[in-house]
Amino acid sequence: MNNDFEKIFDFLHRIEKLKSTFRYTRTASGGRESSAAHSWRLSLMVFMVADVLKFDLNVLQAVKIALVHDLAEAITGDIDAIQIAEHKISKEEKQKLEIKAMKKIKATLPQKMGEEIYGLWQEYEEAKTQEAKFVKALDKLETLTQLVEAGYKTYDKPEFIAGYADQAVKNFSELSPLLKVIKEQLKKEFQKGKLPW
């Protein structure tokens, strides 16, 4: 048992880097948003939105997926969608780096726990289950929410933002009303900055 606790401590120590792994988005106060902060709010959104919309899915599974979906970034750093869109890195390269990182993370944990965390991450990546599709869509909506809060002055790629969550929400259409609410707020930010919508 002590050995398991040592492995868990080593894992927690390794993923602490998520607290200082910065994302493309900024916070309302102007600082850079961390991967850890993003994952925390996404996890809150999972159970709150599922409760409001009375989704027939395994909410605990979805929360677990949300908590681990960006763990690889503790090793790889954040490789954002803009880097991929601008061909700075391919989706395939990103995936290879993240698989390698997750295998490394998995190996540090007690076997059963490592397999569960790797499996949750893989479920998110494959997006075949309702839970994974739900979290994938909310992941994009959390990012849009952050962009609303940060404000138009932080939008260095406005042409990329307006349709950012559309495909993910299309894959989980029950979230369309939430996307509409967020986009209304986002559009106001675009108007404030006189940016084309």
Q: Which domains are present in the chain?
A: 2-8+33-192 (1.10.3210.10)
- Short-list 172, 176, 160, 161, CA closest to 128: 172
Tell me what pLDDT residue 51 has. Answer: 93
Whole-prediction pTM value?
0.94
Tell me what pLDDT residue 152 has. Answer: 94
Tell me what pLDDT residue 107 has. Answer: 94
- Short-list 36, 45, 30, CA closest to 18: 36
Tell me what pLDDT residue 106 has. Answer: 96
User: CA 161, 164, 169 angle in degrees (round to 5)?
Assistant: 145
Q: Which residues contact 82 (CB under 8 A, 6 or more apart)?
A: 24, 157, 160
Tell me what pLDDT residue 23 has. Answer: 92
CB 25 within 8 A of CB 42: no
Tell me what pLDDT residue 185 has. Answer: 97
Tell me what pLDDT residue 125 has. Answer: 97
At 32-53, the pLDDT tens digits run: 999 999 999 999 999 999 999 9
Q: Which helix (H) or strand (E) holds 23?
A: strand 22-26
Q: Which helix (H) or strand (E) holds 36?
A: helix 35-53
- Short-list 134, 168, 138, 171, CA closest to 58: 134
Tell me what pLDDT residue 81 has. Answer: 83
Residues with pLDDT less than 70, the chain:
none
DSSP 20: G
Tell me what pLDDT residue 195 has. Answer: 94
